[in-house]
Amino acid sequence: MAKVVYSSMKPHKLGRKGTSVTTKRVRGPEGRMTTIYQIDASSPTFGDDIGYVFAQNVRRARRANRGLTRSRNRAAADA
């Protein structure tokens, strides 16, 4: 006999929940858009907010480094 499993078909929501981090998109000196994260220092979720902002900054830095090191022809880059 087959086992019947009931579960929700709704997709799980990803991202932050209940944080006091606000984001603002501004233009930098070179004219490129930059995201600024603002944290409320008196927030009860301050530790989680710091962790979230740190993770976002690490993600952005890793993406930038990945774009710098990947090239189509590594042999030509070394020569």
Q: How far is CA 30 from CA 1, 33, 55, 74, in A?
A: 66, 9, 25, 29
In a domain? residue 5:
no
In a domain? residue 29:
yes
Residue 50 — very low, low, confident or very high, per pLDDT cuts 50/70/90? very high
The per-residue pLDDT for 67 is 77
The model's pLDDT over 51-67, given as tens digits with 9 standing for 90+, comes to 999 999 999 888 888 87
In a domain? residue 38:
yes
In a domain? residue 77:
no
48-76 b/e (C-beta count within 10 Å ≥ 16 → b): bbeebbeeeeeeeeeeeeeeeeeeeeeee
Residue 17 — very low, low, confident or very high, per pLDDT cuts 50/70/90? low
In a domain? residue 47:
yes
Structural domain of 46:
22-70
In a domain? residue 46:
yes
**pLDDT exceeds 60 at position 77:** no
Q: How many domains does the chain have?
A: 1
**pLDDT exceeds 70 at position 28:** yes
